[in-house]
Chains A and B, each alone.
Chain A
Amino acid sequence: MSETNTLAGPQRLLWRTAEVREVIDETPRVRSLFLSVTGWSCHRPGQHVDVRLTAEDGYQAQRSYSIASAPEAPQLAITVERIDDGEVSPYLTTEVRVGDRFEVRGPIGGYFVWTAALGGPLFLIAGGSGIAPLMAMLRYRAAVGSDVPALLLYSSRTFADIIYREELNQLAAASDGPSVVHTLTRQQPAGWTGPARRIDRDMLTEIGIAASAQPRVFVCGPTSLVEQTTQSLLALGHEANLIKTERFGPTGAPR
């Protein structure tokens, strides 16, 4: 076989030690951890890592988290939402401190990835903590100076629950920045003029990128949001092969 036909890439994904360098509480339930990972190789926007925690007696628990940082960023960031009766998320969102160490494995996943070479327009749809991999895509887009038109439609319960709110404002304000539309499903602040319900077909028609523009669509969030949104997109004429989805599974609290 000629060289161009070989499957390039690392042979084995190893567990690597990650050290927490910074901790940021994004919302009352959501925290971002900034990690320095020994031997880390670059990731592509949308990929994730597996995180493994080992207790003193050797017990281990493992979960997957999307990488929220751009490949260009100096530290790897993951954004974790606290699930009240969860095993791992309460530890990562309340106990973990700067200097703590655990293992990560990655980058993983090539299916849910966007790079500028894929072109656009880019249509991102997020529910709750599903924003994380899409934020990696938007941060990357800004870092490389891409002018591919982009729209983020982001569903959150309340204003206080919007993750990366300030940074999204800044990204949107930049020239060639993405358009960002928030919908708040449970409670809206006084004077709110934006959408105030779950994402549905009408909202996608009014606010979204039309199917005729053939956008690359990425949908990420709780399973129910992903399924309903995908059905609506298909009904509006978007092609199945241009829609990529990542289901996070239902979260602890209803949306």
Chain B
Amino acid sequence: MQDPPIARGFRGKRPPVANDRIPPGQHLTSDFPVLSAGPTPTTRLESWSLALQNGGALLGKWTWREFEGLPQTRVKVDIHCVTTWSKLDTNWQGVTIDTLLQAAGLSEPPRPYVMLHCDGGYTTNVPVEDLINGKAMIATHFEGKPLSPEHGGPARLLVPHLYFWKSAKWVRRLRFIPHDEPGFWESLGYHLYGDPWREQRYVGD
């Protein structure tokens, strides 16, 4: 097949940044792009709840007030979106998954994988190992302010060492499952795990 004609003078928008905090194929952004798989849900705090489930069993459930009363953690992390933008030193506050498990009285997670379920129907799968030991939280604040709805408010998962589609917006349920299963994007060709440092963007990477 013929090579496409070169568009004279076209450079595109790729700032060449050599930075060991930026995974391969990523570039730094100063804004915070919004990408959603569906309309922004409008769940009111009075109706909001977060649940932990294992099969048919409810392991824990918190109303917004109860959730806010749990020990809070603040983190500063880098985040990496599969669409190639990366954002460094972002500040979040929320409840770590470790704290949630403790609050539910679980000395250890019942199954090795978790499927996250969100308002609007979005799902994503994450191994439990990648959620515990300080690696993830349910975040409610970004840069000191309550998380805005378009960015996942009132609460989203934050698991920054994986591509950001795993940091599910509008999360409502964490369901423990025995085997890894593909969520919304994973069932459409995105990588089951999603490690930005190994550039695991798609199935087969």
Question: Is chain B found bound to chain A in the same assembly?
Answer: yes
Q: Which residues of A contact B (CB under 8 A)?
A: 15, 17, 52-56, 59-61, 87, 91, 95, 97, 100-103
Q: Are B14 and A59 in contact (CB under 8 A)?
A: yes
Q: B10–A55 contact, CB under 8 A?
A: yes
Min C-beta distance of B15 to chain A, whole Å = 12
* B residues in contact with A53, CB < 8 Å: 7, 10, 12
B145 within 8 A of A: no
A91:B5 contact, CB within 8 angstroms: no
B14 to chain A: closest residue by CB: A59
- Assess the A54–B13 pair: CB atoms within 8 A: no
Collect the chain A residues with CB atoms within 8 Å of residue B10's CB.
53-55, 61, 91, 95, 102
Q: Which residues of A contact B4 (CB under 8 A)?
A: 15, 52, 54, 60, 103
Q: Which residues of B contact A (CB under 8 A)?
A: 4-14
Chain A: CB-nearest residue to B12: A59
10 CB-based A-B contacts, threshold 8 Å: A17-B5, A53-B7, A54-B5, A54-B6, A56-B6, A59-B14, A97-B8, A100-B9, A101-B7, A102-B10
Docked Cα-Cα span, A91 to B12, in Å, equals: 9
List chain B residues, Cβ under 8 A from A54: 4-7, 10
- Taking a contact as CB atoms under 8 Å apart, the answer to whether B13 and A55 are in contact is no
Which of chain B's residues has its CB closest to A56's CB? B6
Q: Are A100 and B8 in contact (CB under 8 A)?
A: yes
Q: Which residues of A contact B7 (CB under 8 A)?
A: 53-55, 91, 100-102
Tell me, in angstroms, the Cα distance from A48 to B51 when the chains sit together.
47
Q: Could you say which of A87, A102, A103 contacts B12, with CB atoms under 8 Å apart?
A: A87
Give A68 to B8 CA distance when docked, in angstroms. 24
* Closest 8 A/B residue pairs (Cβ): A53-B7, A101-B5, A87-B13, A102-B7, A54-B4, A53-B10, A59-B12, A95-B9
Q: In the assembled complex, which residues on chain A have CB atoms less than 8 Å from the CB atom of B14? A: 59
List, in ascending order, chain B residues with CB within 8 A of A15's CB: 4
Given A55-B6, A60-B12, 10 more A-B residue pairs with CB atoms under 8 Å apart are: A15-B4, A55-B7, A87-B12, A87-B13, A91-B7, A91-B9, A95-B10, A100-B7, A101-B5, A102-B7
Q: Which residues of B contact A97 (CB under 8 A)?
A: 8
Q: How far is the CB of B120 from chain A (nearest CB, A)?
A: 19
> In the assembled complex, how far is the CB of residue A201 from the closest CB belonging to chain B, in whole angstroms?
24
B35 to chain A, nearest CB (A): 13
Q: Are B9 and A103 in contact (CB under 8 A)?
A: no
CB proximity of B14 to chain A, nearest CB, Å = 6
Contacts of B13 in A (CB 8 A): 61, 87
**How distant is the Cα of A99 from the Cα of B78 in the complex, in angstroms?**
44
| Least distance between B7 CB and chain A CB atoms (Å) | 4
**Closest CB in chain B relative to A96 CB, distance in Å:** 8
Task: Tell me how far the C-beta of B71 lies from the nearest C-beta in chain A, rounded to whole angstroms.
Answer: 40
- Contact in complex: B5, A102 (CB < 8 Å): yes
- Report the Cα distance A95→B6, complex, angstroms: 14
Instruction: Give CA–CA (A19, B9) in the complex, Å.
Output: 15
- Chain A residues contacting B9 (CB-CB under 8 Å) are 91, 95, 100
Please measure, in the bound complex, the distance between the C-alpha atom of A59 and the C-alpha atom of B10, giving whole angstroms. 9
Give the complex CA separation of A101 and B6 in angstroms.
7
A102 to chain B, nearest CB (A): 4
Q: How far is the CA of A59 from the CA of B27 in the complex (A)?
A: 14
Q: Closest A residue to B3 by CB, please name it.
A: A54
For the complex, what is the distance from the CA of A52 to the CA of B7, rounded to whole Å? 9
Contact partner, A61, options B5, B6, B8, B12, Cβ 8 Å? B12
Say how far A219's CB is from chain B's closest CB, in angstroms.
Answer: 20
Kindly name the residue among B7, B8, B11, B12 whose own CB sees the greatest number of chain A CB atoms within 10 A.
B7
Shortest A65–chain B CB gap in Å is 14
| Min CB–CB distance A95 → chain B (angstroms) | 5
In the complex, which residues of chain B have a beta carbon less than 8 angstroms from the beta carbon of A100? 7-9
Q: Which residue of B lies closest to A94 (CB)?
A: B9
Chain A residues whose C-beta falls within 8 Å of the C-beta of B5 in the assembled complex: 17, 54, 101-103
Tell me the complex Cα distance, A101–B5, Å: 7
Bound state CA distance, A101 and B4, in angstroms?
Answer: 10
Bound-state CA distance A102–B6 (Å) is 7
Assembled-state Cα–Cα distance A54/B10 (Å): 7
**Most chain A C-beta atoms within 10 Å of own C-beta, residue among B6, B8, B10, B13:** B10
B12 shortest CB reach to chain A, Å: 5
